[in-house]
């Protein structure tokens, strides 16, 4: 066991897998000699060589497209997209090729690409370094989509992603790279060493994809969330002084419906929160799933707390961010309903 922040945990996952499986290679902008703009691959090129940790041209579509070919030829590529905001030039290769290759070839071809991308706001990144585009991926058949909320989960889930023969889009909420964040930017930063999620085994371990985690248990309400918002939601629950299940979805696709169902059937009330803007966000699917599965148990409308339906603005970062106050307001609304 070590103390790791999320960057170190990601790096450790990559290191463990590169060591364990010589077919694992890394491809991305600035990932090689430099070790990545967020340092997630620091030291790996020195350790595994230039042919396994490969600096790439600034061409996201080329990175994903060539990674697919690399994967078809028996290697196991982990592609880094420098910011989730820059994944869009690679969307066609993800949607049209990566996601559907196995299906269209009758199961004969596949490419086990993992795409890592830092996502989310709260680092003064403005509209081009703050996005949470997970909903564009969760609608696709054929890729899995994952977002961890702690170093421990990041490592275990990333290892599963790399080992998976299915393509995985792995979003890393960059606001919590260095520590959990409760949504209040005015409070001093908390390091991961102060959080149990920062305890990370140095060796191999994996967390299966498709399993949510109940990070906090309670009776009155179910909060379903993922990424940075797990911590914000927990803080809001404590501040509101209510007893709630806080569920970290972790694996957005495939979704662990059972865990959600068990909880909402118990509490009868449900709040869903994410950073991405609300309309057509992943939260919409969560609402739809919960209302389909648990309708007869619901004692109040399911509420969504999410980014506003605007781009993520630089100056209004903390007005845009779905912070504790908005969650608490919705909690109150839900709890008042009779």
Peptide bond connecting 315 to the previous residue in cis, omega within 30 degrees of 0: no
Distance set, CA 251 to CA 49, 145, 156 (Å): 32, 6, 12
144 lies in the site for other proteins, by CB under 8 A: yes
User: Binders of other proteins among 159-178, rule CB under 8 A?
Assistant: 164-166
Mark residues 232-271: x for contact with other proteins by CB under 8 A, - for none. Answer: ----------------------xx-x--------------
Whole-angstrom Cα distance, residue 75 to residue 13? 17
User: Binders of ligand TPP among 207-236, rule CB under 6 A?
Assistant: none
Distance set, CA 133 to CA 5, 96, 220 (Å): 23, 17, 31
Alpha-carbon Rg for the chain in angstroms: 19
193 lies in the site for other proteins, by CB under 8 A: no
Mark residues 249-278: x for contact with a second copy by CB under 8 A, - for none. Answer: ----x-x--------------------xx-
Query: Out of 48, 152, 282, 320, which residue is the one contacting other proteins (CB under 8 A)?
Result: 320
For residue 96, give every residue at least 6 positions away whose Cβ sits within 8 Å of its Cβ, in sequence order, or none. Answer: none
> What is the helix (H) or strand (E) element at residue 253, kind and residue range?
strand 251-253
For residue 84, give every residue at least 6 positions away whose Cβ sits within 8 Å of its Cβ, in sequence order, or none. Answer: 117, 118, 119, 120, 131, 132, 133, 171
280 lies in the site for a second copy, by CB under 8 A: yes
> What is the helix (H) or strand (E) element at residue 170, kind and residue range?
strand 168-173
Give me 26's structure tokens: 């890394």
Whole-angstrom Cα distance, residue 58 to residue 76? 21
Residues 335 and 271: beta-carbon distance below 8 Å: no
> What is the helix (H) or strand (E) element at residue 271, kind and residue range?
strand 270-277
Nearer to a second copy, 26 or 101 (CB): 101
Residue of 19, 51, 129, 231 marked catalytic: 129
Nearer to ligand TPP, 48 or 83 (CB): 83
| Residue 129 appears among annotated catalytic residues | yes
Mark residues 49-88: x for contact with ligand TPP by CB under 6 A, - for none. Answer: ---------x-----------------------x---x--
Nearer to a second copy, 124 or 139 (CB): 139
Nearer to a second copy, 77 or 133 (CB): 133
Nearer to a second copy, 175 or 304 (CB): 304
Active centre residues (catalytic): 129
Interacting residue ranges for a second copy, rule: CB under 8 A: 61, 85, 88-89, 91-92, 95-96, 99-100, 103-104, 127-128, 135-136, 138-139, 141-142, 253, 255, 276-277, 279-285, 287-288, 291-292, 295-296, 298, 300-304, 309-311
Interacting residue ranges for ligand TPP, rule: CB under 6 A: 29, 58, 82, 86
């Amino acid at each position: 066991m070590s103390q790791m922040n999320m960057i170190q945990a990601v790096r450790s996952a990559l290191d463990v897998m590169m060591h364990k499986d010589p077919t694992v290679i890394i491809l991305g902008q600035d990932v090689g000699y430099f070790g990545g703009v967020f340092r997630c691959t620091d030291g790996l090129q020195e350790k595994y060589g230039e042919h396994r940790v490969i600096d790439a041209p600034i061409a996201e579509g080329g990175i994903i497209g060539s990674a697919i070919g690399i994967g078809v030829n028996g290697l196991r590529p982990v592609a880094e997209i420098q910011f989730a905001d820059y994944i869009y030039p690679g969307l066609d290769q993800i949607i049209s090729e990566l996601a559907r290759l196995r299906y269209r070839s009758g199961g004969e071809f596949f490419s086990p690409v993992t795409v890592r991308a830092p996502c989310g706001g709260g680092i003064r990144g403005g509209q081009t370094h703050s996005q949470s585009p997970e909903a564009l991926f969760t609608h696709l058949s054929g890729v899995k989509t994952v977002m961890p909320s702690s170093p421990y989960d990041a490592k275990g889930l990333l290892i599963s992603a790399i080992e998976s023969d299915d393509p995985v889009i792995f979003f890393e909420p960059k606001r919590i790279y260095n520590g959990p964040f409760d949504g209040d930017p005015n409070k001093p930063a908390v390091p991961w060493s102060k959080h149990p999620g920062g305890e990370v085994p140095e060796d191999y371990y994996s967390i299966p994809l498709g399993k949510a985690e109940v990070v906090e248990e309670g009776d009155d309400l179910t909060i379903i969330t993922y990424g940075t918002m797990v911590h914000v939601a927990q803080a809001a629950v404590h501040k509101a002084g209510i007893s709630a299940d806080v569920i970290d979805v972790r694996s957005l696709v495939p979704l662990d419906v059972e865990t959600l169902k068990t909880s909402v059937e118990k509490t009868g009330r449900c709040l869903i929160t994410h950073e991405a803007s609300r309309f057509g966000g992943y939260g919409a699917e969560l609402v739809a799933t919960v209302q389909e599965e648990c309708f007869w148990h619901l004692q109040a409308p399911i509420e969504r707390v999410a980014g506003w339906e605007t781009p993520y603005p630089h100056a209004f970062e903390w007005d845009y961010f779905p912070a504790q106050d908005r969650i608490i307001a919705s909690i109150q609304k839900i709890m008042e309903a009779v």
